[in-house]
């Protein structure tokens, strides 16, 4: 099967305008007749639900939290990119496009990424109009900073809480549509299945997390904005409830899962400090603008950092990458941190940490300036570690943070299942094999505010659909399947807690499918995952009942899906016999230990089709065609 990305013809910069004109419009009077389900209320889901309702569609919006304001987009700290060029420093739509394509190591579609760069400017305009208090200069104009591997200052920010402010903006817009009666909210609902009728996505089955009731909802289209699966590693910077279940259920109903092996390990997180640890905390990489990363030159040097003289410190990023220094992309920074620790130069109690030092920045700019930029991050660091970063350098280590893989979508953000749209982190689309800093917020809002409002109309009037209600047998089947599975989870009655099994899964993936991978390790991981999955269904202990507020049951369902999905992740990593971006296979590296792509054989999207629980998934390749940029070896020297 040849996947059709439906990329419009014509010059790159004209594609989106041309496509918008060619897409059919829905008569304004008819929009109210269409029901749209939006799952998730993060930046993508919240902005989509609000914008679709503004157009007049009737929207049902679901989330697992108690309020749409709490989706994990809220935790994004650093900022949002846009090609405004307010700083007159050489930025442009083309440069943002190029940086994003290059940052993703040439594994994303040109057309999607260019559109993202084009709409980025509208996002900032809209967010300011919504009352988002972005940082400003004394003259009253918006402030920018350079961020995560960019050589221009294109990042807009609201202290260290940009995700929170953007999400609350989308939430405000959403609540305005609730007031208008066009959005109905369904909080504390977890999507447990996608309903496909005549090959089209027509609804979902959810569990009411308070009463345990299984509910069915039918619609003309389903928009999934259910986030990423970084929690497959157990420890990650994701929120505790972030999971793969919704997208994995859709995969099992026929949607293709693309590039699952592209998982980003973020370089600046607070290091792990105990087995009880439930999650990892990110320290925004904006800190790398002023902080200098170093380790002692001598392996095993256990002196406190302030007693290690300058001459005995190795500022390894600055030394190795003179032009980008501490601002190299995330994958490069993470791998280098691991390499230093593997050499025995790691610091802290565990030896799995490197220093991020603000001494020179404080000397240069003064404590007040640094406090104004990073005050809340320093405070958060001190709360967690009881160490004061104004006085002693921070300790950081990479952690699982974001996933570039997700459900396959075409240029319209529609999956291979007609009527199923996938946006935000849940899709695979714009970041290639590695996401640049401050680009996730941009993509989530681009998808929700500026792409789906156009493309969904084209689908709704472009394709016939039969009338469907939740009485359709496909809904009954889904409810039956979901109920059976819940009953099965509750009846295992084994001896290990779900968290304990999840922790072990995380260890397997971190060890064999984390920052670097090898064929031997991946084969081993696959076997270990299969064994652990077997153990889960025989020995997991899930207390409580199905008709209750049962958080253990919620987690059990998610971990059961992670145990299946983890194998797909490993299979994809095994099949991609090259290194690119965040996917680093030891066997494929340049002499300078950078990821070495194989453009001849792997310049494609790997989209996996579910073939049954006991059958290997089938790989479909979407070739990536580059007509506007030249594929180069990434170099940040």
Partner 1 sequence: MTKNIDITLKIWRQKNADVKGGFETYHASNISIDMSFLEMIDVVNEQLTLDGKDPIAFDHDCREGICGMCGAVVNGRAHGPEKGTTLCQLHMRHFSSGDTIVIEPWRAKAFPIIKDLAVDRSAFDQIIVAGGYISVNTGGAPDANAIPISQEIAEKAMDAAACIGCGACVASCPNASAMLFTGAKISQFALLPQGRPEAALRALAMVRKMDELCFGNCGNERECEVECPKEISISNIARMNREFFKAGLGSAVM
Binding residues among 549-608 for partner 1 as defined by CB under 8 A: 549, 551-552
Contacts of 242 (CB under 8 A, 6+ apart): 72, 227, 228, 229, 230, 231, 236
Binding to partner 1 (CB under 8 A) within 86-115 occurs at: 86
Residue 391 binds to partner 1 (criterion: CB under 8 A): no
CB of residue 101 to partner 1, shortest distance in Å: 25
Beta strand pairing status for 292-296 and 313-314? antiparallel
CB of residue 564 to partner 1, shortest distance in Å: 23
Distances (CA, A) of 545 to 212, 301, 464, 489: 9, 53, 42, 10
Q: Which helix (H) or strand (E) holds 608?
A: strand 604-609
CB of residue 280 to partner 1, shortest distance in Å: 9
**What DSSP assignment string belongs to 251-263?**
HHTTPPEE-TT-E
Residue from the set 38, 93, 124, 219 that interacts with partner 1 by CB under 8 A: 124
Residue 446 binds to partner 1 (criterion: CB under 8 A): no
Residue 274 binds to partner 1 (criterion: CB under 8 A): yes
What is the spatial distance between Cα 101 and Cα 97, in angstroms, rounded to a whole number?
Answer: 6
CB of residue 159 to partner 1, shortest distance in Å: 6
Other CB atoms within 10 A of residue 622 CB: 19
Distances (CA, A) of 358 to 184, 267, 287, 293, 392: 48, 17, 9, 9, 8
Catalytic entry in 115, 249, 288, 330: 330
What is the spatial distance between Cα 588 and Cα 601, in angstroms, rounded to a whole number?
Answer: 13
What is the spatial distance between Cα 68 and Cα 284, in angstroms, rounded to a whole number?
Answer: 24
Closest CB to partner 1 among 145 and 620?
Answer: 145
Residue from the set 3, 135, 371, 631 that interacts with partner 1 by CB under 8 A: 135
Nearest residue to 155 via CA among 99, 108, 105, 102: 99
Closest CB to partner 1 among 254 and 453?
Answer: 453
Residue 3 binds to partner 1 (criterion: CB under 8 A): no
Contacts of 142 (CB under 8 A, 6+ apart): 84, 86, 124, 128, 134, 135, 136, 156
Residue from the set 3, 13, 98, 122 that interacts with partner 1 by CB under 8 A: 122
Three-class SS of residue 221? strand
CB of residue 386 to partner 1, shortest distance in Å: 6
207 given a catalytic annotation: no
Residue from the set 240, 343, 369, 587 that interacts with partner 1 by CB under 8 A: 240
| Phi, psi angles (nearest 5°) of residue 21 | -70, -35
Contact (CB, 8 A) for 91 and 75: no
Residue 236 binds to partner 1 (criterion: CB under 8 A): no
Closest CB to partner 1 among 41 and 259?
Answer: 41
Residue from the set 14, 360, 548, 598 that interacts with partner 1 by CB under 8 A: 548
- # binding residues, partner 1 (CB under 8 A): 84
Residue 136 binds to partner 1 (criterion: CB under 8 A): yes
Closest CB to partner 1 among 449 and 536?
Answer: 449
Binding to partner 1 (CB under 8 A) within 505-534 occurs at: none
Residue 137 binds to partner 1 (criterion: CB under 8 A): yes
CB of residue 143 to partner 1, shortest distance in Å: 8
Three-class SS of residue 477? helix
DSSP label at residue 355: E
Residue from the set 118, 153, 155, 165 that interacts with partner 1 by CB under 8 A: 165
Residue 70 binds to partner 1 (criterion: CB under 8 A): yes
Judged by CB under 8 A, the stretch of 71-79, 255-263, 325-333, 521-529 that binds partner 1 is 71-79
CB of residue 543 to partner 1, shortest distance in Å: 5
- 497: which strand partners? 541
Binding to partner 1 (CB under 8 A) within 400-439 occurs at: none
Catalytic positions: 330
């Amino acid at each position: 099967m040849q996947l059709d990305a439906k990329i419009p013809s014509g010059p790159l910069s004209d594609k989106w305008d041309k496509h918008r004109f060619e897409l059919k419009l829905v008569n304004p009077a008819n929009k109210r007749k269409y029901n749209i389900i939006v799952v998730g209320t993060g930046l993508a889901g919240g902005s989509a639900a609000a914008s679709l309702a503004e157009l007049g569609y009737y929207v049902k919006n679901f989330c697992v939290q108690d309020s749409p304001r709490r989706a994990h987009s809220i935790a994004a700290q650093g900022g949002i990119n846009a090609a405004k060029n307010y700083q007159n420093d050489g930025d442009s739509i083309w440069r943002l496009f190029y940086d994003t394509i290059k940052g993703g190591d040439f594994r994303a579609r040109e057309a999607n990424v260019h559109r993202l760069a084009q709409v980025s400017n509208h996002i900032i305009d809209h967010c300011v109009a919504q009352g988002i208090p972005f940082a400003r200069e004394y003259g009253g104009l918006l402030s920018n900073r350079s961020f995560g591997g960019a050589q221009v200052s294109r990042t807009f920010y609201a202290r260290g809480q940009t995700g929170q402010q953007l999400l609350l903006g989308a939430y405000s817009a959403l609540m305005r549509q609730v007031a208008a009666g066009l959005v109905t909210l369904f909080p504390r609902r977890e999507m447990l299945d996608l309903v496909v009728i005549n090959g089209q996505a027509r609804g979902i089955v959810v569990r009411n997390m308070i009463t345990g009731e299984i509910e069915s909802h039918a619609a003309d289209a389903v928009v999934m904005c259910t986030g990423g699966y970084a929690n497959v590693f157990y420890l990650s910077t994701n929120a505790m409830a972030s999971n793969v279940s919704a997208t994995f259920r859709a995969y099992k109903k026929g949607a293709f899962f693309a590039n699952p092996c592209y998982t980003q390990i973020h370089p600046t997180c607070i290091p792990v400090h105990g087995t009880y640890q439930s999650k990892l905390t990110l320290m925004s990489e904006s800190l790398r603008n002023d902080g200098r990363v170093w380790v002692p030159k001598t392996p095993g040097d256990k002196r406190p950092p302030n007693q290690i003289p300058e001459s005995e410190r190795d500022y390894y990023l600055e030394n190795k990458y003179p032009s980008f220094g501490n601002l190299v992309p995330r994958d490069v920074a993470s791998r280098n941190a691991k390499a230093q620790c593997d050499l025995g130069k790691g610091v802290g109690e565990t030896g799995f940490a490197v220093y991020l030092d603000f001494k020179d920045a404080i000397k240069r700019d003064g404590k007040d300036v640094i406090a104004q930029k990073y005050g809340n991050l320093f405070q958060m660091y001190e709360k967690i570690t009881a160490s004061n970063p104004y006085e002693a350098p921070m300790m950081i280590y990479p952690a699982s943070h974001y996933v570039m893989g997700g459900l396959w979508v075409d240029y319209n953000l529609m999956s291979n299942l007609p009527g199923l749209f996938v946006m935000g982190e849940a899709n695979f689309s714009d970041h290639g094999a590695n996401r640049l800093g401050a680009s996730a917020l941009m993509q989530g809002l681009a998808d929700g505010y500026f792409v789906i409002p156009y493309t969904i109309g084209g689908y709704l009037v472009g394709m016939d659909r039969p009338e469907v209600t939740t009485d359709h047998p496909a809904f009954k089947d889904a409810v039956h399947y979901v109920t059976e599975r819940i009953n099965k989870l509750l009846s295992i009655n084994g001896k290990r807690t779900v968290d304990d099994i999840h922790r072990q899964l995380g260890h397997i993936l971190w060890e064999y499918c984390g920052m670097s991978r090898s064929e031997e390790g991946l084969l081993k991981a696959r076997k270990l995952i299969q064994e652990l999955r077997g153990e889960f269904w025989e020995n997991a202990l899930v207390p409580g009942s199905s008709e209750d507020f049962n958080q253990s049951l919620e987690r059990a369902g998610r971990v059961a899906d992670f145990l299946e999905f983890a194998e797909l992740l490993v299979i994809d990593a095994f099949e991609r016999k090259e290194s690119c971006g965040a996917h680093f296979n030891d066997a494929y590296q340049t002499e300078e230990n950078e990821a070495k792509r194989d453009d001849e054989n792997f310049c494609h999207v790997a989209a996996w089709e579910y073939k049954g629980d006991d059958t290997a998934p089938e790989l479909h390749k979407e070739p990536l065609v580059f007509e506007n940029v030249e594929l180069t070896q990434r170099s940040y020297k």
